[in-house]
Amino acid sequence: MPTNDGLVPAVDAADLKSVWLMQNDFQARHPRQQVAIDIDAHKCACKPGADVGAVCSRASMLGSLENAAESRHFEFPWMRDGRSAEIVFKIVAAIPMVRISTGCRAGRISDQFRGIDKAS
C-alpha cells in the first residue's frame, strides 16, 4: 500500500524476484494472451507479512523497465537475454518510487529510473 507521502514502500528483493519469476513463467505459458494472476498466487510467492501490493507495484515497474529496454528506448546494461541482473531486483526493491495514479500519465520510463546508475 502507498505511504502517506505517496511513495511505494520498499520491499524484500527476494519477494520481488519471486513475484517477477512467477509472472514471467505464467506469461511464457500463455503467450499473446491477456490473463490475470490471482492475488493469492502473489501472496504465495512472497514471504509471510510481505506488502503484496507494494511488491506487485514494483514488479510492474520492473516489467515496464524491461519492456522499454527490450524495445531499445534506452540502454539498460544490467539486462542480458531478457533477464535482469540480481542487482536490479535489489535496486528496484528499495529505490524511492511514487505510485502512478489512475489517469496520470507517467513520464518516460527512463525518468522513473534515472537514479539506478547511482544506486548500482
* 67 contacts: CB under 8 Å, gap ≥ 6: none
- At residue 25, does pLDDT exceed 80? yes
pLDDT of residue 97 exceeding 70: yes
Alpha-carbon distances of 13 from 33, 89, 95, rounded to whole Å: 28, 5, 11
* Model confidence pLDDT, tens digit, residues 56-74: 999 988 888 887 777 776 6
Mean pLDDT value across residues 92-98: 90
Closest CA to 69 of 117, 109, 19, 21: 109
pLDDT beyond 80 at 100: no
Cβ-Cβ contacts under 8 Å for 59 (sequence gap 6 or more): 16, 19, 20, 23
pTM: predicted TM-score of the whole model, two decimal places: 0.75
